[in-house]
Amino acid sequence: MLPPFSGFGYGPVQVRVSETLTVLPFLFPWAKWGLYIGCIVANLASPFLVWDISLGALASLISGFLTERMPSPYLAPLPPVLVNAFLVSAYVAPLSGLSYWPVFAHILLGQAISCYLFGLPLLLFLIRNPHITKRLE
42-95 pLDDT per residue, tens: 999 888 999 999 999 999 999 999 999 999 999 999 999 999 999 999 999 999
129 domain residue, yes or no: yes
Quick one: pLDDT band at residue 2, thresholds 50, 70, 90?
very low
- The closest of 130, 122, 90, 97 to 26, measured between CA atoms, is 122
118 domain residue, yes or no: yes
112 domain residue, yes or no: yes
- C-alpha 31/C-alpha 34 separation (Å) is 5
Domain of residue 108 covers: 20-136
51 domain residue, yes or no: yes
- pTM equals 0.87
Q: Which pLDDT belongs to residue 73? A: 97
Q: How many domains in the chain?
A: 1
- 44 burial type by CB count under 10 A (0-12 exposed, 13-18 middle, 19+ buried): exposed
